[in-house]
Amino acid sequence: MLTVYGRATSSNVQIVMWVLAELGLAHKRLDYGHAHGGLDTPEFGEMNPHRLVPTLRDDDLVIWESCAILRYLAARYGDGGAFWPVDPAARARVDMWAEWGKNELAQSFTVPIFWSRVRTAAARRDEAALTAAVTRFNGLLARLAPQLAGKRYVCGDTLSAADITIGHLLFRWFTIDVTRDANPRVEDYYDRLTRLETYREHVMVDYSVLRDPEA
């Protein structure tokens, strides 16, 4: 049994949960982090020296960092197809966009936009910085749009690891109060994701518990 340590409202945990669901892997998730605590125990520290979620246990193997977990699960339990190809060149095409999603796209959204708009009281918010971050993120999504031309998903007509790291951000992007530029390809892509049962269950998670009451 695969065990995931991490709360359902963590976007990084959502990456892992979505992958597990796509691969059809039996698992259990334990609430750790935020209001649930548990990260400061000696037992958790032995598994993850950084004391962050998600952390995955697969028998005696423990893995932390969401994308390391994603790659491990896809390589060990996937079928070597489009989700995480066996061929190194095909895999690299997926991995480039997966890396971009987890690094540049996520880092441009999670703290500067989501934390600022949702998890920070309005009185303490740097509105100028938030506006600049939203402008930058709109620009990044404009960069994504040509990649989606003629495709259902980021790297083709089949879901891949790139969709996990990019797509998990879009639920929050499209449901918070910010100024979004018109971007039909990304909007259509998000609509396709919302029709996936796995996406609705593991990504479209109510995040109101994270909202500052004065945000």
Global pTM?
0.97
Cα distance between residue 145 and residue 187, in whole Å: 9
Architecture of domain 2-77: 3-Layer(aba) Sandwich (3.40)
Q: Are 54 and 13 in contact (CB under 8 A)?
A: yes
Fold of 88-203: Glutathione S-transferase Yfyf (Class Pi); Chain A, domain 2 (1.20.1050)
Helices (H) and strands (E) in the chain, counts: 10, 4
Q: N- to C-terminal Cα distance for the chain?
A: 40
Compute the average pLDDT of residues 161-167.
98
- Domain(s) of CATH 1.20.1050.10: residues in the chain: 88-203
Q: How much is the pLDDT for 156?
A: 98
CB under 8 Å to 133, separation ≥6 — which residues? 108, 109, 112, 113, 116
Name the nearest CA neighbour of 81 among 153, 138, 132, 131. 153
Residues 75-131 have pLDDT tens digits of 999 999 999 999 999 999 999 999 999 999 999 999 999 999 999 999 999 999 999
pLDDT of residue 1: 84
